[in-house]
A and B are shown apart, each in its own frame.
Chain A
Amino acid sequence: MVSIDVYNASVDFPIFDAKSRSLKKAVLGLGKAGGRIGVEARVPVIEALRDISVSLRHGDRVGLIGHNGAGKSTLLRLLSGIYEPTRGSSRIVGKVAPVFDLGVGMDPEISGYENVIIRGLFLGMTRRQMEARVDEIAEFTELGGYMSMPLRTYSTGMRVRLALGVVTSIDPEILLLDEGIGAVDAEFMAKARDRLHALVKRSGILVFASHSDEFLLDLCDTGIWMDHGQIREHGKLREVLTHYKGRDPFDGKDRP
């Protein structure tokens, strides 16, 4: 059973400047102080997330909203298991497929085809399984001959297509999307939306961070409003959006 349970989790980033990151300061510092003051204690810490408690189950489609730096991307990484909480606990059960910063984790020098295989292997697929899916991915992404070109020749939108093509083809149970996927054109987005809908219905959880009300309403039904590293509100997406914006974003439109 696919599930995400996060309880009272915090994510604190130590910020090492060039000096405090070096051994010199740690060694000298300990000598001077004469006591056992941990090096960590004097390293400034950014509390990226505080006291996060979330429980997600099969079929949940959550939109993350909030200002820049509110902790949306960090929360996605917490939910993917990349960051384990520095305090509190988290448990992620299911096959996770993230699409974060595009271009990172993809090798610009090798072909789109090769990148598809490697990304699939990273996400727990076998080479054979990925080879069986490559044609389908090529067709869905409409990349055609570009699949055999090095990735550096791709535009941002094309990279998004490729990344979306991979994660939607491997039947993930937990799909985590960062706002970068907004780089694709509307036509492709519509196509991807159907696939994402089917995917979530079939197998799992979707968490999507975005600044676009349009995309959010397309993909999600509940919302989490992140503010200064904390969950300010979570509930029905439209209500959360209304509180966040101070007005109903769909007031006067014929949307549900």
Chain B
Amino acid sequence: MESSALGLFMRDSSVWTYPIVNLTHILGIASLFGATLIIDLRLLGVWRRVPLAPLADAAVPVAKAGFLVAATTGVALLATKATEYAGNPYLLIKFAAIALGLANVYVLSLLPAWRARRERAPSQAEARWLTFMGGISLACWLAAVAAGRLIAYW
């Protein structure tokens, strides 16, 4: 990965390549985490008066775009010094947290209460599930961001 064309480009194209890709990575994370935070808090019971469906209509595309930007720039940052990062425990924690977060998104997308959010309100039992998944989501993305930042402190 480090000897790939991408790795070479990241290291040798310009002294500003890394900082610019790094900045883009942060913008991606900010969009993903910010949008996800709004949905998670709503699922956890904050802003009950705000209907879930329109909130999700606005936040989900921002989260998706943020994830895409963060993931692509993340690969580039990793390729810069892949062999060095391979031994970094925080990187493994971060990847595990992202995998869990994505699995949580997938399960949520299968829930009838989530799929029917535009037609009806969730039942009490369903609402408890949504709350639970919002909590898992928040924990996953928080862990991913924290572990990601800590990569630099190893």
Same complex: no
